[in-house]
Amino acid sequence: MIDVMIDGQRIRRTYETRDEAEEFAEQVRTARMNEGTAALSLTPDVRAEAAKCVRELRRYNVSITDDRLTNILKRLATAAGLAKWKHNGLRHSFATYHLALHATP
């Protein structure tokens, strides 16, 4: 049996063989390592800005990836007269503008 936390959710899986369980465990370890590597590829100023966003949202018991935040943004977009809210639009826009401004990802 594999017992692991993924995205804040406890995942328990049973496998027929130890090899299958080890394969899944290795996939989880690789995914976690890749997430850490991706985070370190951000520039220090972007990491600081993300940390500030996390602190600000924590006051409202919301995270950056929380569906409640997405729903709030959709309601704000509707109230502002934006006909359609593009999923991950802010994140994609930020990445585009950041790349244009700094010429590096």
Q: What is the pLDDT of residues 24-81, one digit of tens each?
A: 888 888 877 777 666 667 788 888 888 898 888 888 887 777 777 778 877 888 888 8
Amino acid 8: pLDDT: 65
Number of structural domains found in the chain: 2
Same domain, 14 and 48: no
Amino acid 21: pLDDT: 86
Tell me how far apart the alpha carbons of residues 33 and 44 are, in angstroms, rounded to a whole number. Answer: 19
Confidence of residue 87 (pLDDT cuts 50, 70, 90): confident
Torsion of CA 9, 46, 81, 65, to 10 degrees: 0
First to last CA, the chain: 39
Same domain, 27 and 73: no
Global pTM reads: 0.37
Category of 43 on φ-ψ map: left (φ > 0), alpha (ψ -120 to 50) or beta: beta
Same domain, 57 and 26: no
Tell me how far apart the alpha carbons of residues 65 and 27 are, in angstroms, rounded to a whole number. Answer: 22
| Between 61 and 6, the higher pLDDT residue | 61
Amino acid 98: pLDDT: 77
Amino acid 6: pLDDT: 67
